[in-house]
Amino acid sequence: MSDAKRKYALYLGCTVPVRAQNYELSARLIAKHFGIELVDIPEFTCCGFPIKSVDQRSSLVMAARNLALAEKQGLDMVTLCTACTGTQVEANHELKNDSDKLAEVNKILKKDGLEYKGTVNVHHFARLLYEDVGIDRIKQEVKVDLQNLAVGAHPGCHFTKPSEAFEDFDDPENPHVYDDLINATGARSNPYSERELCCGGAILGIRVDVAYAMVGKKLASIKESGSEAMILICPFCNVMYEQNQKKIEKELEQGFAMPCIYYTQLLGLALGYNPDELGFKINRVKPSKILERIGVTSEKTTT
Amino acid sequence: MNENQDAEAVEEVTKAQEPKVIKFDELDPNFKYEIQAEPSGEFITRCYACGTCTASCPVRSIEETFNPRRIIHMALLGMKKEVLSSEFVWLCSTCYACFERCPQDVRITEMMNALKNLAVKNGYIHPAFTAQIDLIQGHGRLYEADSFVNKKRAKIRLPELTESPDPIKAIFKATGLYEYSTEAKESKELPQSGNTEGGSNE
């Protein structure tokens, strides 16, 4: 909550910088707004999530390498992708609690001139907003009335789970952190029956039909609940819900037309930023109706 | 109905049921210990088959061949080949619902990784993952940071994206994962050279 300048290493992962530039753009803007300095480390590589299925050891070393790079600069790590968050948090938890594993990993990192000592903390950007900026401060800064806009919250499974590695910062069975963040903007996190359903992203390359069915079930549930948009903080969940939405509508012969908005975009609107500054041009399912109603079209500059 | 017809009918019934018959002499009683020797596999024997995992599983509610309780039971019985060569072993979406709820703390989501890792070692890697190994090894990330991507990034004033594939290749070489990449397979001159860590079929 302090206004003191906070500095973090920004971990983008694979999907954000290539397939979710609206998320990256809006997150950088929100960070700036709240005085959070994000440092880019170009040497960061994949977190190891996809490799875990093939060889857990390689995955752990990959995550450790990123942690070591952040540690070298004396910075904690901020993540945007929920899957990266899970992988980096879990690896960090494992390495901090198992000195044998840490030694084994460091043997490999040493060849790269790196060593991980176990001093880094990993935070999802949304968690950072909750814990470091705080709900009260967010509420104070809201300028645009989002008119109680009903939205479906989807943080992604790895935002809170496995809860043990996340040190129970939120209750995985009855979470509230993400809803509190959404409600602080003036929008309303609207409950829906498939709230806990996973996006299926991890099995997209294995069984596309199963993954699509999972997406369809969730989108139908959000629509049924009367929400006008889905709010995301994971770029791969977005690949599933937004970037594949047209294909899935065709495949399942079901219409959703569900705008998928990143939390950082939603918060940005509430703070009075222009949709263009928040990368709304990149959103595929246009939330035009919502933008019009709250009176922030691309033409107008509100800041 | 003569005896011959009777025997034929019996044979037909047996044949139809055959896939469901568990043949004890084909079971591998050591399979569970192999799983336990893998990282994250150590808690599989805690399972008392309550089915909380299966009831919680979002994949199971759509695709019934993915049934965590059944997979664990098959593994404990020693149905090694059936488990490792199956498609279902790759179908965990890693949502951690079962992991959170398991009353015996089998740590199923992570245990599924142990099963998949063993499938790989036994020559059953899913082709989707060979592709991912190749991409990450080639670019340091799943997606290439080419000029098209960087042009798009520059347009909205995002910093340039660079690639660091070399450290990843070095890690994969150190852990043996490199052997599963297409590059390694194509460049191997001596079939028996190097450490393939059980990469071939047993």
Q: Touching check for A157 and chain B: CB below 8 Å? A: yes
Domain ranges of chain B: 21-122, 127-187
**pLDDT score of B188:** 81
- Asked if residue B143 lies in contact with residue A15, where contact means CB atoms within 8 angstroms, the answer is yes
**pLDDT score of B194:** 47
Q: Touching check for A39 and chain B: CB below 8 Å? A: no
Query: How many domains does the structure of chain A reveal?
Result: 2
CB contact burial B99-132 (16+ within 10 A = b; e otherwise): bbebebebbbbbbbbbbbbbbbbbebbbeebbeb
Interface of A with B in 105-134 (CB under 8 A): 108, 111-112
Residue A300: count other Cβ atoms within 10 Å of its Cβ. Answer: 11
Q: What is the predicted ipTM?
A: 0.94
Residue A290 in any domain: the answer is no
- Give the closest residue to A270 by CA, choosing from A129, A80, A138, A130: A138
Residue B166: count other Cβ atoms within 10 Å of its Cβ. Answer: 12
Q: Using the beta-carbon criterion (under 8 Å), do B114 and A56 form an inter-chain contact?
A: yes
Same-domain check for residues A149 and A119: no
Contact residues for A1 (Cβ-Cβ < 8 A; gap 6+):
A132, A133, A134, A136, A137
By residue range, what is the domain housing residue A49? 6-124
Domain finish residue from A124, A145, A160: A124
Residue A118 in any domain: the answer is yes
The CATH number linked to A245 is 3.40.50.11810
Q: What is the pLDDT of residues A19-51, one digit of tens each?
A: 999 999 999 999 999 999 999 999 999 999 999
- Could you give the CA distance from residue A157 to residue A161 in angstroms, rounded to a whole number? 6
Q: Using the beta-carbon criterion (under 8 Å), do A24 and B164 form an inter-chain contact?
A: no
Ramachandran assignment for B116, one of left (phi > 0), alpha (psi -120 to 50 degrees), beta (any other): alpha
Domain finish residue from A124, A159, A188: A124
Q: Touching check for A206 and chain B: CB below 8 Å? A: yes
At B201, the pLDDT band (50, 70, 90 cuts) reads very low
Same-domain check for residues A182 and A68: no
Domain B21-122 = CATH 1.10.1060.10: yes
Same-domain check for residues A69 and A208: no
Same-domain check for residues A79 and A184: no
What does pLDDT average to over chain A?
Answer: 96
Same-domain check for residues A140 and A238: yes
Q: Touching check for A58 and chain B: CB below 8 Å? A: yes
Residue A296 in any domain: the answer is no
Same-domain check for residues A163 and A265: yes
Same-domain check for residues A81 and A149: no
- Give the closest residue to A170 by CA, choosing from A77, A195, A178, A188: A178
Q: What is the pLDDT of residues A94-152, one digit of tens each?
A: 999 999 999 999 999 999 999 999 999 999 999 999 999 999 999 999 999 999 999 99
Same-domain check for residues A109 and A140: no
Same-domain check for residues A95 and A156: no
**pLDDT score of B10:** 63
Same-domain check for residues A165 and A259: yes
Same-domain check for residues A120 and A138: no
The mean per-residue pLDDT over the stretch B96-116 comes to 98
Domain finish residue from A124, A143, A170: A124
Out of B66, B93, B162, the one facing A42 most closely (by C-beta) is: B162
The CATH number linked to A33 is 1.20.1050.140
Same-domain check for residues A253 and A271: yes
